[in-house]
Amino acid sequence: MEDITKKYTNGEVTIVWKPNTCIHSRICWTAATGLPEVFNPRERPWINMEGATTERIIAQVNKCPSGALSFYMNDESGENQEITTESIVEIVPNGPLLVYGNIVVKDKEGNETHKNKVTAFCRCGQSGNKPYCDGTHRKVDFEG
């Protein structure tokens, strides 16, 4: 599978979207939890960087459970900024296990992947991207 990365900027901040990582939680664009004036999957491009202030956009990106959305300030040199926060684990009803903060995920071969912000782990056992959630829980009507 091709690793696609798309970037959207307002001149101050750049939003990085990795569609292959997205679990389509809808947190970014639903009216109750999101910022629909910026994130609208029915529009092209689907991210309108002029729809809100930089601060509101960053706050919304930080809620992304899969890490498919990230950001960097345009005056910074890199996209992989470390987030300093305590680790928090949250169980989403009928959904993934969310881990907030800096973590290291080690696979069975001992390879380490460093994650920051929010990482969504599969709880339904059906993900095609284990140990991470890929949204399959909705297709299999997972309850838990």
pLDDT digits (tens, 9 = 90+) for 79-103: 444 444 567 888 889 999 988 878 8
Looking at residue 76, what is its pLDDT? Answer: 55
Predicted TM-score (pTM) of the model is 0.60
More confident residue, 46 or 108: 46
The answer for residues whose C-beta is within 8 angstroms of residue 75's C-beta and 6 or more apart is: none
pLDDT of residue 69: 92
Question: Do residues 34 and 26 lie in contact, with contact meaning Cβ atoms separated by under 8 Å?
Answer: yes
Using one digit for the tens of pLDDT, what is the confidence trace for 22-75?
Answer: 888 888 999 888 999 999 999 999 999 999 999 999 999 988 888 889 988 987
Question: Do residues 84 and 75 lie in contact, with contact meaning Cβ atoms separated by under 8 Å?
Answer: no
Per DSSP, helices labelled H in 24-139 are 54-61, 136-139
**Domains of the chain as residue ranges with CATH:** 1-76 (3.30.70), 88-139 (3.40.5)
Task: Look at residues 46, 52, 65, 61 and name the one whose alpha carbon lies nearest to residue 15.
Answer: 61
Give the pLDDT band of residue 78 (cuts 50, 70, 90).
very low
Q: What is the pLDDT of residue 79?
A: 45
| pLDDT band with cut points at 50, 70 and 90 for residue 2 | low
User: Residues 6 or more apart from 84 whose CB is under 8 A from it?
Assistant: 102
Q: What is the pLDDT of residue 138?
A: 87
pLDDT at position 83: 47
